[in-house]
């Protein structure tokens, strides 16, 4: 089930409108697949773009960090932010340099974030952030205590104004280039997990949990 969504002047794609995705469910699928987002905010006219983890619940994005974080303290002032998640799916090799491209899926969310003050919602948001990255890990970890929850700032960004952009499939060359004698196609890219590495201080008899050993759900964000 996906709500209809009408882009604003700020989120409507002007170029390559065929790559635009204004479908909320499709955008959420991209958000749910990424690991990290890039958060944009402005200080004295200068934009900053900082990578960080995130989670989604319903029509809200959550980011978090130390209450001392320069980024979060800025965002906590109610300034406009932009949160972008990008999944890179492949290199697109056309015959002409000009038509080379990448296959990707990205979502851009504009808005203003609000600090989550309610301790219960805050803890739930932290659980979401954890489960987003590694489902199953939360329950097996030492839970946050009151001091840690207090030291953490969690910001909620409503997913109200957004756009998604998707490019998939083979290269599109100019008609006259299809005879050019070079290989053309797609090199697929995928983020994969390697063999888990034990913490050197771990009791080596501790088994590697299933969620760590068979991690293949995600692409990078």
Q: Which of positions 74-93 make contact with a second copy (CB under 8 A)?
A: 80-84, 86, 88, 91, 93
The least distance separating a second copy from the CB of residue 1, rounded to whole angstroms, comes to 28
Nearer to a second copy, 1 or 14 (CB): 14
Q: Which stretch binds a second copy (CB under 8 A): 19-27, 30-38, 54-62, 114-122?
A: 30-38
Site string for a second copy, 137-176 (x = CB under 8 A): xx-xxxxx---x---x-----------------xx-----
Nearer to a second copy, 2 or 185 (CB): 185
Tell me, rounded to whole angstroms, the distance of Cα 212 from its chain centroid. 20
Match 């888990």 to its residue by tokens. Answer: 196
Q: Which two tokens stand for residue 4?
A: 């209809």
Nearer to a second copy, 4 or 194 (CB): 194
Q: Which two tokens stand for residue 8?
A: 């604003």
State the maximum Cα–Cα separation within the chain, in Å, rounded to a whole number: 67
Length of the chain: 221
Sign of the alpha-carbon dihedral angle for 5, 9, 13, 18:
positive
The least distance separating a second copy from the CB of residue 7, rounded to whole angstroms, comes to 13
Site for a second copy in 115-134 (CB under 8 A): 126, 130, 133-134
* Interface residue with a second copy, options 7, 20, 33, 40 (CB under 8 A): 40
* 81 three-state secondary structure: strand
Q: Give the β-pairing of 114-115 and 20-21.
A: unpaired
């Amino acid at each position: 089930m996906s709500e209809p969504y009408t882009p604003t002047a700020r989120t409507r794609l002007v170029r390559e409108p065929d790559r635009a995705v204004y479908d909320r469910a499709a955008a959420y699928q991209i958000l749910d697949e990424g690991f990290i987002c890039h958060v944009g905010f402005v200080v004295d006219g200068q934009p900053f773009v900082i990578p960080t983890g995130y989670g989604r619940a319903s029509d809200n994005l959550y980011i978090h960090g130390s209450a001392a974080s320069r980024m979060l303290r800025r965002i906590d002032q109610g300034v406009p932010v932009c949160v972008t998640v990008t999944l890179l799916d492949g290199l697109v090799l056309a015959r002409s340099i000009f038509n080379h491209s990448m296959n990707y899926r990205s979502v851009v969310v504009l808005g203003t974030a609000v600090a989550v003050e309610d301790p219960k919602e805050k803890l739930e948001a932290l659980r979401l952030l954890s489960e987003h990255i590694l489902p199953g890990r939360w329950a097996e970890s030492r839970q946050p205590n009151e001091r840690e929850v207090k030291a953490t700032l969690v910001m909620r960004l409503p997913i109200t104004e957004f756009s998604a952009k998707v490019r998939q499939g083979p290269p599109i060359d100019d008609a006259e280039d299809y005879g050019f004698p070079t290989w053309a196609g797609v090199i697929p890219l995928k983020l994969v997990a390697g063999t888990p590495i034990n913490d050197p201080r771990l009791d080596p008899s501790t088994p590697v949990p299933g969620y760590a050993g068979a991690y293949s759900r995600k692409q990078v964000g």
